[in-house]
Amino acid sequence: MKPAKFEYYAPQTLQETLEVLAFYGEDARILAGGQSLVPLLNFRIMQPSALVSINHCQDLHHLALEAEDIVCGALIRQVEAEHSAVVSQSCPLLAAALPWVGGRANRNRGTVCGSLAHADPLAELTAVATALDAKFMLASVHGRREVLPEEFFLGELSTCIEPGEMLEAVRFPAVGADATAAFVEVGNRQHGFAVVGVAAQLEYEPDGRYRRVRLAAIGVGSTPVRLEVAEGILTDTYGDMATVKEASHAAAIGLEPPGGFHADAAYRLKVLPVLIERAVKQAHAARYEQKEH
Amino acid sequence: MKEVASERILRVEDNYLLRGAGMFVDDVPEPPGTLHASFVMSPHAAARIVSIDARAALELPGVQAVLTGDDLAMLTRPMSTGIDLPGYIAADRDVIARSVVRFVGEHVAVVLATDKYTVQDAIELVQVEYEVLPSSSTLEQALEAGAAIVHEHVPDNILYRGAFSSPDFDVAHSCSEHHLTESFRHGMVAGVPMEPRGCLAVPERGDMIVFYTSTQIPHIVRTGLAEHLDCSESRIRVVAPDVGGGSARKQFSTPKR
Amino acid sequence: MDGGEKVWVELLVNGTIYRRQIEPRRLLVDFIRYDAGLTGTHLGCAHGVCGACTVQIDGAAARSCLHFAVDVQNSLVTTVEGMADDKHVHPLQQAFQECHALQCGFCTPGFLLTADEFLRETPAPTLEQVREAMSNNLCRCTGYVNIVKAVLLAAERIRMLESKNT
């Protein structure tokens, strides 16, 4: 229950960080919040030669609206994003999902980018990134590249981050003030792992018609699943009950969720439409609560 | 004398527990030279232990000893399932497995080192060669004809067979309209107290031992230790410090301890 | 494996500086318990789930089993021993005792540090908010009911103290 030995680095700049990563290649891991990584180290499931702590790297601590995106640097803690006015105004889905990401002690230290880079198939933020077509900014000493969720998430705990590379920041598309969102999940405990979770964000025409619908789920695949069929059914509608139900049930067709310790595939397929319905209704209701104020 | 019945009385131990001044077994001050023990465990459900090579582990600075089942057999008696139930076949278990392992996780060696981190480094360096054997890992497997035998003296793998019936069952049975026959299974139930189990053994006055352990049964622990070490109970003093929950899990003496 | 040799670190815990030579892999919980000798912080699961090891890093609740001591230099670490002195006990500690919010006491320090942060941020919480905030620490003895009562009682007392001071 104690980690194996490692060399420890605490670079002060992004450039230093990248140089250490280049030196160690796949033998180094980034240490940010450590909430996902350190349990693996404590159990010796992972034994990297070097740990590169970005906790002292102010270059990576930025969260701001830049043109059409909210840019979230690698050192932004989940709790910072949760309390950010920029996030609540311009990315309501991220704001809605964050309270579900573990308990307060985990969110105080865990980072937004860290959760994404770890790519646990049940991580709520992976559904958010997938639903929103977030852009993943990868950096190494050789330069930068930007990838989309379908290229980033390769499988359970697996991303396209190459040895020597790190996730420097994530860009979430900004939406207007009247967009609403919801995140719902079922799981053993409020702060435990999700069994299935659904992220929903709605953007509206002035008359309330759904101009754009973004939906994604965790727990129904080894990576987060974008629910495009359901999105298609709901777009350009007013979100009436029948359409929401139709979309929810259509979403499950063709999916082959993994079995798992907490729930089998059949359960996941059964629960998914229920959660989609709830998420859409909740997001929808939030618009009308907004309008009342 | 002050009347206390029906008064709300505050607990005396809360004062130090709330200040973080409790003394759970891992808080007991360790004398200089205290060694930390941890275990090499079998990854196999059934196997013969062919060889144990501890040379690399012993070379690690801070590692004092690696003891095998044979080493411990010279110091301890095996443990026995002491269940007093007619028809129950008792089975013995070496404190550390000697020639065969019977479940995943069974201890095959104990490593002693100067600190908790080194001892885990050393465990990874102990090389155990196993001859993997067929195993009976479920009830169904164990009951099949030709199943792998877990204990040699129990050739059908049945340690206990029991039955009961309610009085006048046959009468009630013949009078009922509906008869339900069913098999029920439930998993092994484990209490999980917040504080893990642990112990600290401190030699005292020559051949005496003070044994701190997170336990609900200090007297029984003493008796058990005396039996296994084949010595008089008067040589052993068991101290149960603050205990972080028992959930009945600390009512057993385990080979680990 | 080579590497990971001991380094000198200085940690500020409850207002005292502890200077020790440790390996980088030394967990914060182990530094606190063995290098600083503050055994009030307990190790339960060693993977961040149970909360018994909860301390505060710069006032924010954190699982000390998931941090390395070397990585939190330049921060103020607060443990349960920092919540009371010889004269004064924290209102939460007082309330926990009065409400019988502990039995074995193993999870208790983790709850105290968690609740302290929670009440600083949410001084007038609802019952539901308290239950939610306490739900990420595991307690197997009390069933949580008295813990929730204690937090609500402490909240009330802290608010009274603050209003007296202003």
In a domain, B44, yes or no: yes
How far does A9 lie from chain C, in Å, by closest CA?
Answer: 9
Residues C130 and C105 in one domain: yes
Share of chain A above pLDDT 70, in %: 98
Q: Which two tokens stand for residue C73?
A: 């230099």
Residues of A with CB under 8 A from a CB of B: 1-5, 44
Which residues in C lie closer than 8 A to residue A105 (C-beta atoms)? 48, 51, 54, 61-63, 114, 136
Residues A280 and A243 in one domain: yes
A44/B117 Cβ within 8 A: no
Distance between start and end Cα atoms, chain B: 44
Q: How far apart are CA A76 and CA C61, in angstroms?
A: 16
Q: How far apart are CA B21 and CA B197, in angstroms?
A: 19
In a domain, A91, yes or no: yes
CATH number of the domain encompassing residue B9: 3.30.365.10
In a domain, B104, yes or no: yes
In a domain, A65, yes or no: yes
Residues C77 and C22 in one domain: yes
Question: A291 falls in which pLDDT band (50, 70, 90)?
Answer: low
Residues C78 and C115 in one domain: no
Number of folded domains that form chain C: 2
B17/C138 Cβ within 8 A: no
Q: How far apart are CA A39 and CA A35, in angstroms?
A: 7
More confident residue, A1 or B67: B67
Residues A143 and A187 in one domain: no
What stretches of B104-194 adopt beta strand conformation (E)?
A: 107-113, 127-132
| Residue A111 pLDDT greater than 60, yes or no | yes
Q: Which helix (H) or strand (E) holds C12?
A: strand C7-13
* Average pLDDT value over all residues in chain A: 95
Q: What is the per-residue pLDDT for C1?
A: 45
Q: What DSSP string describes A263-277?
A: --HHHHHHHHHHHHH
How many Cβ atoms are within 10 Å of B220's Cβ, its own excluded?
Answer: 14
Question: B2 falls in which pLDDT band (50, 70, 90)?
Answer: low
In which region does residue A232 sit, left (phi positive, over 0), alpha (psi from -120 to 50) or beta (all else)?
alpha
Residues C99 and C118 in one domain: yes
Among C13, C90, C106, C147, the strongest candidate for a mutation testing the B interface, having the largest count of B CBs within 10 A, is C106
Q: How far apart are CA C97 and CA B13, in angstroms?
A: 10
Which residues in B lie closer than 8 A to residue A42 (C-beta atoms)? none
More confident residue, B187 or C136: C136
A103/C136 Cβ within 8 A: yes
Q: How far apart are CA B112 and CA B96, in angstroms?
A: 14
How far does B15 lie from chain C, in Å, by closest CA?
Answer: 8
Residues C110 and C51 in one domain: no
Residues B153 and B117 in one domain: yes
3-state secondary structure of B140: helix
- Taking the CA atoms of A72, A73, A79 and A80 in sequence, report the sign of the dihedral they define: negative
Q: What is the per-residue pLDDT for B253?
A: 45
Residue A123 structural domain: 60-173
C140/B247 Cβ within 8 A: yes
Q: How far apart are CA B94 and CA B228, in angstroms?
A: 10
Tokens 């909430």 map to which residue? Answer: A35
Residues B21 and B40 in one domain: no
**B73, B13 in Cβ contact below 8 A?**
no
More confident residue, B244 or B46: B46
Q: How far apart are CA A60 and CA A139, in angstroms?
A: 12
How many Cβ atoms are within 10 Å of A264's Cβ, its own excluded?
Answer: 13
Question: A292 falls in which pLDDT band (50, 70, 90)?
Answer: low
CATH number of the domain encompassing residue B125: 3.90.1170.50
Which residues in B lie closer than 8 A to residue C50 (C-beta atoms)? 194
In a domain, B168, yes or no: no
Residues C160 and C95 in one domain: yes
3-state secondary structure of B95: coil
Residues A66 and A97 in one domain: yes
DSSP H helices in B169-238: 169-175, 218-229
Tokens 């509206």 map to which residue? Answer: A204
In a domain, A1, yes or no: no
Q: What is the per-residue pLDDT for B164?
A: 86
Residues A46 and A98 in one domain: no
Residues C147 and C114 in one domain: yes
Residues A22 and A77 in one domain: no
Q: What is the dihedral of CA C90, C108, C130, A106, to 10 degrees?
A: 110
In a domain, C2, yes or no: no
In a domain, B15, yes or no: yes
Number of folded domains that form chain B: 2
Contacts of B115 (CB under 8 A, 6+ apart): B36, B62
In a domain, B217, yes or no: yes
How far does B22 lie from chain C, in Å, by closest CA?
Answer: 7
Cβ-nearest to C102 among B17, B116, B193: B17
C63/A8 Cβ within 8 A: no
Q: What DSSP string describes C66-96?
A: GSBGGGGTTSEEE-GGGS--SS---HHHHHH
A3/C66 Cβ within 8 A: no
Q: How far apart are CA C154 and CA C96, in angstroms?
A: 8
In a domain, A210, yes or no: yes
- Return contacts of A234-237, CB within 8 angstroms, 24+ apart: A234/A210, A234/A280, A235/A210, A235/A211, A236/A209, A236/A210, A236/A211, A237/A209, A237/A210
In a domain, C1, yes or no: no
CATH number of the domain encompassing residue A244: 3.30.390.50
Residue ending a domain, choose from B138, B160, B182? B160
**A235, A280 in Cβ contact below 8 A?**
no
Residues B46 and B9 in one domain: no
Q: How far apart are CA A123 and CA A116, in angstroms?
A: 8
Residue ending a domain, choose from C40, C58, C82? C82
Residues B134 and B70 in one domain: yes
| Residue B92 pLDDT greater than 90, yes or no | no
Going by their DSSP bridges, the two strands C54-57 and C7-13 should be labelled as: unpaired
Q: How far apart are CA B214 and CA C105, in angstroms?
A: 13
For the stretch A6-61, pLDDT in tens is 999 999 999 999 999 999 999 999 999 999 999 999 999 999 999 999 999 999 99
**A160, A188 in Cβ contact below 8 A?**
no
Phi–psi pair at A70, nearest 5 degrees: -95, 120
B24/C40 Cβ within 8 A: no
Average of per-residue pLDDT across A104-129:
96
In a domain, B170, yes or no: no
Residues C40 and C95 in one domain: no
Mean pLDDT by 10 residues, chain C (166 residues): 85 98 98 98 95 98 98 96 91 97 97 98 97 95 97 97 86
Residues A44 and A101 in one domain: no
In a domain, B243, yes or no: yes
In a domain, A2, yes or no: no
Q: What is the per-residue pLDDT for B249?
A: 53
Residues B143 and B46 in one domain: yes
| Residue A125 pLDDT greater than 80, yes or no | yes
What is the longest distance spanned by two Cα atoms in chain B? 76
- Output DSSP code: residue C27: B
Q: Mean pLDDT highest for which of B142-151, B210-219, C103-112?
A: C103-112
In a domain, B90, yes or no: yes
Residues B156 and B40 in one domain: yes
**A134, A173 in Cβ contact below 8 A?**
yes
Distance between start and end Cα atoms, chain C: 59
Q: Which two tokens stand for residue B136?
A: 């009976």
Residue ending a domain, choose from C82, C107, C129? C82
Q: What is the per-residue pLDDT for A124?
A: 96
Helix axes C145-165, C127-134, angle to 10 degrees: 120
Residues B55 and B18 in one domain: no
B17 by Cβ neighbours in 10 Å (0-12 / 13-18 / 19+) ranks as buried
Residue ending a domain, choose from B119, B144, B160? B160
The answer to whether residue B195 neighbours chain C at the CB level (below 8 Å) is yes
From B130, B68, B125, select the one nearest B95 (Cα to Cα). B68
More confident residue, A223 or B80: A223
In a domain, C132, yes or no: yes
Residues A195 and A243 in one domain: yes
B193/C40 Cβ within 8 A: no
Question: B189 falls in which pLDDT band (50, 70, 90)?
Answer: confident
Q: How far apart are CA B246 and CA B194, in angstroms?
A: 9
Residue ending a domain, choose from C57, C82, C107? C82
Residues B85 and B136 in one domain: yes
Residue ending a domain, choose from A173, A191, A214? A173
Number of folded domains that form chain A: 3
CATH number of the domain encompassing residue C39: 3.10.20.30
Q: What is the per-residue pLDDT for B1?
A: 56
C51 by Cβ neighbours in 10 Å (0-12 / 13-18 / 19+) ranks as buried
Residues C50 and C15 in one domain: yes
| Residue B231 pLDDT greater than 50, yes or no | yes
Contacts of B8 (CB under 8 A, 6+ apart): none
Cβ-nearest to C93 among B18, B23, B244: B18
Question: B255 falls in which pLDDT band (50, 70, 90)?
Answer: very low
- Taking the CA atoms of A157, A163, A164 and A165 in sequence, report the sign of the dihedral they define: negative
Residue ending a domain, choose from A115, A141, A173? A173
Residues C75 and C100 in one domain: no
For the stretch B98-108, pLDDT in tens is 999 999 999 99
Residues C100 and C43 in one domain: no
Residues B59 and B155 in one domain: yes
| Residue B156 pLDDT greater than 90, yes or no | yes
Residue C50 structural domain: 7-82
The answer to whether residue B115 neighbours chain A at the CB level (below 8 Å) is no
Residue B86 structural domain: 35-160
Q: Which helix (H) or strand (E) holds A37?
A: helix A37-42
Q: How far apart are CA A85 and CA A95, in angstroms?
A: 9
Q: How far apart are CA A99 and CA A109, in angstroms?
A: 14
Compute the radius of gyration of chain A from its Cα atoms. Answer: 19
Residues C15 and C68 in one domain: yes
Q: Which two tokens stand for residue A276?
A: 């989609």
Share of chain B above pLDDT 70, in %: 94
Q: What is the per-residue pLDDT for B254?
A: 46
Q: What is the per-residue pLDDT for B85?
A: 87
Q: How far apart are CA A164 and CA A183, in angstroms?
A: 34
